[in-house]
């Protein structure tokens, strides 16, 4: 495909790195990225204001609060829970206008007292971005990608989570365009809680399977 | 390809270190790289599979030592050059030196943002009936293509059970090679940990992959 030219280019960039460290308040990467953006704008491919908007969306609008509202509704409404487990793309898109931007192939999987689910992408960084936003660095890290499928209990320990020995752990490696969302178990002691309050218990990590929802006492 | 990107089961990367209150982007340029990646999508110069393959082709030492968005940046820049959208001398100069060739549409603008923050559909009409059904025992093929594949090494030549059927999807192995979408049935195949990791595997563990039909044979 483009091996030789590509690798040659990489090595020239690596040298470039060493030549120009220091001497500027802007990092080498900042300068390179700015240069590429300038070229794309000057040639008429993109407008910078549109890039600003994409950054803003991921920083403020598309994040784990969307997933948290979905989970809180699933905990509160048995009909929605059923629809979510049946076809998550459809259920989530119909749920509320602010989560209308959900693409295809979203699949919700439910934790039970018997089975705890965990999501990983060993090959790259596939993640249910539509409902959780961009993945955190740990999700993309070599440590997580390498160990989650082999030693998930050790990985859970890195997150401070210990599950009963009798709980089965089920790891889903996202090797295609399907995207998985974990539906954690509703914490005890929340029987009278409304959806907005329940959503505060739902952490990002609990929807990836590396964490558990907060305890009611943590958000009261 | 049997590259370093295929990390499942590799030892030695240490503990997972979650960062408390992690920002969406750690540097301004990371957000620009992400946004450019999305924006360029409207020109359909390459597919998601091509973009993954381009990262897999990076030298192992580079892949392992550079940050996520550094790799994305280099991937974007290289594919833009390779597909003729920009030229290498422009990158060297840090500015455009000539007008865009064959601009298929106007610039990516605010009105286009919704198109690229919504995931596309990768499902396609099935070319034939599915060969396997839920509950079937299947063995993943022991294949080692030198090009892009989504069958991870740790799950090759292993016996599992079909748990879900997702319809037919674009086949990444074909799409990344520039050979078209070639839709194939996609399954969730579940393995016992002992099948993958031997007798010392963690107890009470099951692992699944998303497997395209050409990766599977009847067990």
Q: What is the 3-state secondary structure (H, E, C) of chain B?
A: CCCCCCCCCCCCCCCCCCCCCCCCCCCHHHHHHHHHHHHHHHHCCCCHHHHHHHHHCCCHHHHHHCCHHHHHHHHHHHHHHHCCCCCHHHHHHCCCCCCCCCCCCCCECHHHHHHHHCCCCCEECCCCCCCCCCCCEEEECCCCCCCCCCCCHHHCCCEEEEEEEEEEECCHHHHCCCCCCCCEEEEEEEEEHHHHHCCCCCCCEEEEEEEEHHHEEEC
Domain that holds residue B135: 123-218
Nearest to B121 among A5, A103, A145 (CB): A103
Kindly state the percentage of chain A with pLDDT values over 70. Answer: 84
Please check whether residues B33 and B66 belong to one and the same domain: yes
ipTM greater than cut 0.85: yes
pLDDT tens for each residue of A173-195: 999 999 999 999 999 999 999 99
Residue B96 lies inside a defined structural domain of this protein = yes
Please check whether residues B161 and B203 belong to one and the same domain: yes
Please check whether residues B135 and B204 belong to one and the same domain: yes
Please tell me whether the overall predicted TM-score, pTM, comes out greater than 0.90 for this model. Answer: yes
Contact between chains at B27 and A34 (C-beta distance less than 8 A): no
Q: What is the DSSP annotation of A101-166? A: ---S-EEEEE--SSEEEEEE-SSS----HHHH-SPPHHHHSHHHHHHTTT-HHHHHHHTT----TT
- Arithmetic mean of pLDDT over chain A: 88
Q: Which fold has domain A63-219?
A: Nitrile Hydratase; Chain A (3.90.330)
Whether the per-residue pLDDT at B213 is higher than 80: the answer is yes
The CA dihedral of B211, B212, B216, B218, to the nearest 10 degrees, is: 100
Q: Are B169 and A177 in contact (CB under 8 A)?
A: yes
Catalytic residue among A89, A121, A174, A206: A121
At A104 the pLDDT is: 77
Catalytic residue among A12, A48, A124, A141: A124
pLDDT tens for each residue of B127-149: 999 999 999 999 999 999 999 99
Residue B3 lies inside a defined structural domain of this protein = no
Residue B13 lies inside a defined structural domain of this protein = no
Q: Is A126 a catalytic residue?
A: yes
Q: What is the CATH number of the domain that holds B145?
A: 2.30.30.50
Whether the per-residue pLDDT at A21 is higher than 60: the answer is no
Please check whether residues B110 and B156 belong to one and the same domain: no
Nearest to B13 among A44, A134, A142 (CB): A142
At A94 the pLDDT is: 66
Segment among A66-80, B44-58, B73-87, B111-125 with least mean pLDDT: B111-125
> Where along chain A do its domains lie?
4-46, 63-219
Please check whether residues B38 and B102 belong to one and the same domain: yes
Whether the per-residue pLDDT at B199 is higher than 80: the answer is yes
Whether the per-residue pLDDT at B96 is higher than 60: the answer is yes
At B109 the pLDDT is: 95
At A97 the pLDDT is: 55
Residue B17 lies inside a defined structural domain of this protein = no
Nearest to A178 among B48, B59, B166 (CB): B166
Number of separate domains in chain B: 2
At A206 the pLDDT is: 98
At A3 the pLDDT is: 44
Where does a domain end: B91, B117, B143?
A: B117
Please check whether residues B71 and B143 belong to one and the same domain: no
At B45 the pLDDT is: 87
How many angstroms separate the CA atoms of A56 and A139, rounded? Answer: 22
- Arithmetic mean of pLDDT over chain B: 95
Where does a domain end: B117, B144, B161?
A: B117
Residue B88 lies inside a defined structural domain of this protein = yes
How many angstroms separate the CA atoms of A76 and A74, rounded? Answer: 5
Contact between chains at A47 and B211 (C-beta distance less than 8 A): no
Whether the per-residue pLDDT at B163 is higher than 60: the answer is yes
**B141 at the A interface (CB within 8 A)?**
no
Q: What is the DSSP annotation of A88-102? A: HHHHHHHH-GGG---
- Put simply, the chain B residues between 53 and 112 with a CB less than 8 A from any chain A CB are 53-55, 57-59, 62, 64, 68, 70, 73-74, 76-78, 80, 82, 85-86, 88, 90-91, 94-96, 99-100, 103, 106-110, 112
Kindly state the percentage of chain A with pLDDT values over 90. Answer: 79
CA-nearest of A110, A111, A132 to A61 is A132
Where does a domain end: B65, B86, B117?
A: B117
Q: A96: distance to nearest CA of chain B, Å? A: 15
Higher pLDDT, A18 or B33: B33
At A10 the pLDDT is: 47
At A194 the pLDDT is: 96
At B43 the pLDDT is: 87
Q: Are A181 and A105 in contact (CB under 8 A)?
A: no
Residue B108 lies inside a defined structural domain of this protein = yes
Q: A191: distance to nearest CA of chain B, Å? A: 29
């Amino acid at each position: 495909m483009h091996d030789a030219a590509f690798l040659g280019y990489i090595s020239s960039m690596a040298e470039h790195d060493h030549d120009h460290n220091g001497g500027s308040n802007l990092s080498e990467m900042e300068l390179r990225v700015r240069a590429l953006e300038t070229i794309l704008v000057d040639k008429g491919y993109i407008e910078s204001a549109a890039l600003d908007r994409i950054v803003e969306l991921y920083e403020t609008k598309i994040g784990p609060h969307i997933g948290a509202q979905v989970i809180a509704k699933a905990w509160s409404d048995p009909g929605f829970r059923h629809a979510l487990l049946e076809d998550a793309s459809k259920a989530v898109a119909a749920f509320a206008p602010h989560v209308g931007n959900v693409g295809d192939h979203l699949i919700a999987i439910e934790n039970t007292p018997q089975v705890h689910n965990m999501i990983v992408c060993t090959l790259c960084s596939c993640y249910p971005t539509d409902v959780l936003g961009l993945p955190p660095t740990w999700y993309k890290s070599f440590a997580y990608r390498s160990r989650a499928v082999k030693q998930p209990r050790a990985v859970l320990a890195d997150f401070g989570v210990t599950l009963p020995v009798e709980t089965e752990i089920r790891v889903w490696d996202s090797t295609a365009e399907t995207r998985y969302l974990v539906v954690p178990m509703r914490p005890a002691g929340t029987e009278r809680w409304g959806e907005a309050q329940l959503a505060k218990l739902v952490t990002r990590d609990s929807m990836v399977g590396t964490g558990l929802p907060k305890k009611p006492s943590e958000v009261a | 390809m049997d590259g370093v990107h295929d990390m499942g089961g590799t030892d030695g990367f240490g503990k997972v270190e979650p960062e408390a209150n992690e920002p969406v982007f750690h540097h301004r340029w990371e957000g620009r790289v992400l946004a450019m990646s999305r924006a360029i999508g409207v020109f359909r110069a390459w597919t998601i599979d091509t973009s993954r393959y381009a990262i897999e082709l990076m030298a192992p030492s580079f892949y392992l030592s550079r940050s996520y968005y550094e790799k994305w940046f280099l991937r974007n820049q290289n594919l833009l050059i390779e597909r003729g959208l920009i030229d290498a001398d422009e990158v060297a100069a840090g500015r455009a030196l000539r007008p865009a060739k064959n601009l298929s549409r106007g610039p990516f603008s605010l009105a286009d943002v919704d198109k690229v923050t919504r995931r596309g559909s990768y499902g396609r009409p099935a070319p034939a009936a599915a060969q396997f059904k839920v509950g079937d025992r299947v063995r993943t093929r022991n294949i080692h293509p030198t090009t892009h594949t989504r069958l991870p090494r740790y799950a090759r030549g292993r016996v599992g059970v079909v748990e879900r059927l997702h319809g037919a999807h674009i086949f990444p192995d074909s799409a990344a090679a520039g050979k078209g979408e070639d839709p194939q049935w996609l399954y969730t195949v579940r393995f016992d940990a002992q099948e993958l990791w031997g007798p010392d595997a963690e107890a009470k563990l099951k692992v699944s992959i998303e497997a395209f039909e050409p990766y599977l044979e009847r067990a």
